[in-house]
Amino acid sequence: MAYDNVQDDYHLTPHGWDSSNDRPADAVETWTLSIYQRSAWSDEQRSWTRTWVDPNADTADVAELHRKFPPPVNTEPSPPMRRRSRIW
């Protein structure tokens, strides 16, 4: 069983990012942040994946929204845990 296993959806709209459970009517994309950690001592694994695209959205408009509104969460994997070594 995983120590931590979370998925959250974020919807890109003309007004910014929306993290509500239901996709807003004006959303152009939905992205999912997945966070998985096997144990309290293991490194956290993150992924940021586009899971839905409005087929009617203009590509240039969506690109402009991405420039205007960066991802609302840290999408980078956490750095590897530093293990302390014992010095006797």
* Sequence-separated (6 or more) residues with CB below 8 Å from residue 71: 10, 17, 31, 48
Whole-angstrom Cα distance, residue 33 to residue 47?
A: 6
Binned at pLDDT 50, 70 and 90, residue 10 comes out as: very high
Say if pTM beats, i.e. exceeds, 0.85.
no
Residue with more model confidence, 59 or 35: 59
Q: What is the pLDDT of residue 84?
A: 52
Q: What is the pLDDT of residue 20?
A: 93
Q: What is the pLDDT of residues 37-68, one digit of tens each?
A: 888 877 778 889 999 999 999 999 999 999 99
Residue 49: strand pairing partners: 32
Tell me: pLDDT of 85 over 70: no
Mean pLDDT of the chain: 87
Q: Give φ, ψ of 66 to 5 degrees.
A: -65, -35
Provide the 8-state DSSP code for 56. Answer: T
Q: Residues 52, 28: contact at Cβ < 8 Å?
A: no
Whole-angstrom Cα distance, residue 41 to residue 53?
A: 36
